[in-house]
Structure 1
Amino acid sequence: MSDPAARPMTAAVVVAAGKGLRIGGDLPKQYRRVGGQAVLTRTLAALAGHPGIDRIQPVIAPDAAAFYRECLADLSSDLGKKLSEPVQGGATRQQSVRAGLEALSASGGTPGLVLVHDAARPYVATDLVDRAIQAGREHGAAVPGVAVTDTIKLVEPIAPGIGRVHETPAREALRAVQTPQAFGYSALLAAHRRAADQGQDGFTDDGALAEWAGLSVVVFEGDAANRKITQPSDLIDADRSFSRGAGAVSVSPMTSLVSRLATGFDVHKFGPGDHVWLGGVKIPADRGVIAHSDGDVVLHALTDALLGTIADGDIGTHFPPSDEQWRGAASDQFLAHAVELVRARGGKIDHLDITVLAEAPRIGKHRDAIRARIAEIAAIPVACVSIKATTTETLGFVGRGEGLAAQAAASVRLPEILTELDAEAEQTDRQS
């Protein structure tokens, strides 16, 4: 590709705001892991690694910030430099693309060319991006297409599930359209604004919108391997492909993901003060706790639980109370350290569960704030954090109001390298 300084800026809008729930489950398909990394991570890495792309504007759903942070955690810092802060998408793909285009305009350095790509197409290859950029520069509006091998029928419905053939178009003139699609940035943004002003919101790809706006759209050679993940079988195929291919990063062909569950427990005695820290949230109280750090029993228990999943000691091992640098320290850094250690092992945190044992203070009205803070520290969705509270029916030191405690459980998935004998046994099982 040419010297970036000698050409107009080329940006890419990556559309990742869809729910993608047709594939099953409650996790959008772009955040499902294939070969150890999220689909979106692989898509962003492929585009960010291309020398002809200068900036990438991700568009995500309003409630997907934690999922997106997980994707970034698996992306190298060099590639991450090309990414702008994500913007929130709309109710339709068209609205999401426009949000990405507007964000590029607002952040300065208006691009000359923009590529629009679906997050669920992680197979995008360097030569396909080359062709997209070249076609976009030469023609102003260009989409990749692959030849159709099946005979296509145009039908008119005559009953539910039944249609009468209206026309059989020649296959030679048909193309199945893919992304990335390439356009002059200003022309595409103007087309999107015009469509929005006129209430035209039914376009499912930017090539169709550009045609509606009067732009001449060309079709360049696509890539049959540039498949879109749509069905559960697509996820299975992608997992196998990335686990065995050059794109495998976190999981190799000789690696499987195994579940680990570990627990943690912490207790602190009440002392002078007017608040306690629970789950990273400062809660007013008629007493404080006696502790070397801030005495957050929730974060301490969670830290031990996560360290337990990787068998790496406990909180005292990593942050000894004899070390004065931790006196009065905020406990969020302890949990963040444990999270980083898990991720450094290629692990994925699935769920964190906490039970607070205390007669007082009551945590009911603080529950949502605590869940949100823990989710933020661990860079996981709030839905993956659970917190409960109970008393001990006036029994023990908790029941006597002498202190409070917390117990926690953490479930993670970690890559486990199989021995050659294990692999041979697995292969034998498959053949038998």
Structure 2
Amino acid sequence: MKIFAVIVAAGTGSRTGRTTPKQFEALAGKPVYRWSADQFAAHERISKIVIVAPPDNCETISSLPGGDHVLVTSGGPTRSASVLNGIAALQADDDDIVLIHDAARPGLSDDVIDALIEALSDFDAAAPALPVSDALKRQKSGQLRDVSREALYRVQTPQAFRAGMIRQALANREQDFVDDLAAVEALGARVKLTPGREQLHKITFEDDFALVEKFMAEDAPGTMKIGSGFDVHALVEGDGVTLCGVNLPYSHSLSGHSDADVGWHALTDAIFGALALGDLGDHFPPTDETWKGADSAVFLQHAIRLASEKGWALSNCDITLICEAPKVKPHRQTMRERTREITGLDIDSISIKATTTEGLGFAGRREGIAAQAVVMLSRSRNS
């Protein structure tokens, strides 16, 4: 069994208002179609790629690096005809897997490809999809009616099929299906929806170029986000303070709705700041009794999870604890280890240090403890 990719690039792209078809316009340094072609070419499981192009553009595309690994063929009068031309050029066996992709969706990633291939172990077809999150309305005769979002999805490409089934679905049919998935659904195929990604947004209108270019810039290797956080809690009579997940014996405790761990609160806020997602109080309001006495590990894990969902991973953190007492240095390594357990960072990427204010201010008067944190987020490998 082999795995092939068909990139459909034969349309006119007239809705962008540009004279050049959108798939050949420059985007972040190279033509739109090249982003998908290069991503497929770099994937170790893709045996061959065919780009289906307008007849006038075939010769230009034929100069694409890749040799026999990349083929070019002419499109047909409909999308379905263009897809069939691409499959024919591949000479795929019925059991081979074919991934059919719109050239106007340049934000392809390895994890999308891998999930589609895996899905065909148990299903006849698969496609990446995102659940509909906006409110939906249907307008008829000037009246608006709500439409339930339950079980509604935005279906993207690539869409994956066995070559024999998609050939059968598209052959000898006058209907031009809305997408290739609709063609196999008409045959009663079992379809798996795999996780989609916002970066696979399709370029359709002029404004989409700027949006997708922003996505491409964010996906570029080495892209980073920096965030900073600050927190302070008052000291009250007690028997110890919690700092960076470690309880330090002391004559006082930190006052707060949760465990008042200023170190991890500052770290959590720094992650929220890098993601532009507000602050700790937005996510865990002090008025909510759910979080009374809560372990701040819950807050930190939540921030890291949100970062991961958006395609970001914590690269390193630097936390500074500001207090006259208790002494932090004897517990610093334990704090680093505890922070490593929660964040998953290497110990060498976790800095925790302490300083005093030389007797100045509330910290100098031992009325409270403050903390500041700086984090760097990098693009996740599979985002």
TM-score where L is the length of structure 2: 0.53
- The answer to whether the 8 Å contact 2:93/2:164 transfers is no
Q: 1:49 aligns with which of 30, 42, 46?
A: 42
Q: Which one-letter code corresponds to 1:216 in the other structure?
A: R
- The answer to whether the 8 Å contact 2:5/2:50 transfers is yes
| Deviation at residue 66 of structure 1 after TM alignment | 4.5
Q: Which one-letter code corresponds to 1:58 in the other structure?
A: I
Q: 2:206 aligns with which of 212, 229, 232?
A: 232
Give the aligned partner of residue 272 of structure 2: none
Give the aligned partner of residue 135 of structure 2: 151
Q: Which one-letter code corresponds to 1:200 in the other structure?
A: Q
Q: Give the percent of matched residue pairs that are identical in Structure 1 and Structure 2.
A: 35
Q: How many residues align?
A: 222
C-alpha deviations, 1:38-75, integer Å up to 9, x for none?
011111001111112111111111222244246x2xx4
Cα separation, 1, equivalents of 2:129 and 2:190: 16
Give the aligned partner of residue 119 of structure 2: 135
Cα separation, 2, equivalents of 1:31 and 1:92: 19
* Aligned residues: CA RMSD: 2.3
| Deviation at residue 112 of structure 1 after TM alignment | 1.3
Q: Decide whether aligned partners of structure 1 residues 150 and 124 sit closer, same or farther in structure 2, where only a CA change above 3 A counts.
A: same
Matched, 1:173 2:151: yes
Cα separation, 2, equivalents of 1:243 and 1:142: 28
Give the aligned partner of residue 122 of structure 1: 106
Q: Which one-letter code corresponds to 1:118 in the other structure?
A: D
Cα separation, 1, equivalents of 2:115 and 2:21: 29
* Mapping for residues 385-396 of structure 1, pairs under 5 Å: none
Cα separation, 1, equivalents of 2:74 and 2:221: 28
Give the aligned partner of residue 18 of structure 1: 11
C-alpha deviations, 1:217-275, integer Å up to 9, x for none?
22222112211112222222344554575269xxxxxxxxxxxxxxxxxxxxxxxxxxx
Give the SS at the match of 1:90.
coil
Cα separation, 1, equivalents of 2:60 and 2:17: 17
Tell which deviates more after alignment, 184-193 or 89-98. Answer: 89-98
- The answer to whether the 8 Å contact 1:34/1:239 transfers is yes
Q: Which one-letter code corresponds to 2:148 in the other structure?
A: A
- The answer to whether the 8 Å contact 1:62/1:88 transfers is yes
Q: Decide whether aligned partners of structure 1 residues 241 and 176 sit closer, same or farther in structure 2, where only a CA change above 3 A counts.
A: closer
Cα separation, 1, equivalents of 2:200 and 2:45: 19
Cα separation, 1, equivalents of 2:33 and 2:218: 18
- The answer to whether the 8 Å contact 1:9/1:110 transfers is no
- The answer to whether the 8 Å contact 2:52/2:82 transfers is yes
Matched, 1:192 2:166: no
* Mapping for residues 29-428 of structure 1, pairs under 5 Å: 29-69=22-62, 72=64, 75=65, 77=66, 80-84=67-71, 86-105=72-91, 112-156=96-140, 158=141, 164-165=143-144, 168-194=146-172, 196=173, 199-201=174-176, 203-242=177-216, 246=220
Q: Which one-letter code corresponds to 2:18 in the other structure?
A: G
- The answer to whether the 8 Å contact 2:2/2:47 transfers is yes
| Deviation at residue 101 of structure 1 after TM alignment | 1.8
- The answer to whether the 8 Å contact 1:137/1:184 transfers is no
Matched, 1:28 2:24: no
Cα separation, 2, equivalents of 1:209 and 1:168: 29
- The answer to whether the 8 Å contact 2:97/2:161 transfers is yes
Cα separation, 1, equivalents of 2:35 and 2:97: 22
C-alpha deviations, 1:283-304, integer Å up to 9, x for none?
xxxxxxxxxxxxxxxxxxxxxx
Q: Decide whether aligned partners of structure 1 residues 47 and 135 sit closer, same or farther in structure 2, where only a CA change above 3 A counts.
A: same
| Deviation at residue 171 of structure 1 after TM alignment | 1.4
Q: Decide whether aligned partners of structure 1 residues 247 and 32 sit closer, same or farther in structure 2, where only a CA change above 3 A counts.
A: farther
C-alpha deviations, 1:299-328, integer Å up to 9, x for none?
xxxxxxxxxxxxxxxxxxxxxxxxxxxxxx
Cα separation, 1, equivalents of 2:31 and 2:95: 28
Q: Which one-letter code corresponds to 2:175 in the other structure?
A: Q
Give the SS at the match of 1:64.
helix
Cα separation, 2, equivalents of 1:154 and 1:103: 42
Cα separation, 1, equivalents of 2:217 and 2:198: 20
Cα separation, 2, equivalents of 1:245 and 1:52: 22
Q: Which one-letter code corresponds to 1:36 in the other structure?
A: G
Q: Which one-letter code corresponds to 1:215 in the other structure?
A: A
Give the SS at the match of 2:69.
coil
Give the SS at the match of 1:138.
coil
Q: Decide whether aligned partners of structure 1 residues 153 and 41 sit closer, same or farther in structure 2, where only a CA change above 3 A counts.
A: same
- The answer to whether the 8 Å contact 1:35/1:241 transfers is no
Structure 2: 5+ residue stretches without partners:
223-383
Cα separation, 2, equivalents of 1:247 and 1:45: 15
Structure 1: 5+ residue stretches without partners:
1-7, 249-432
Give the SS at the match of 1:53.
coil
- The answer to whether the 8 Å contact 2:48/2:69 transfers is yes
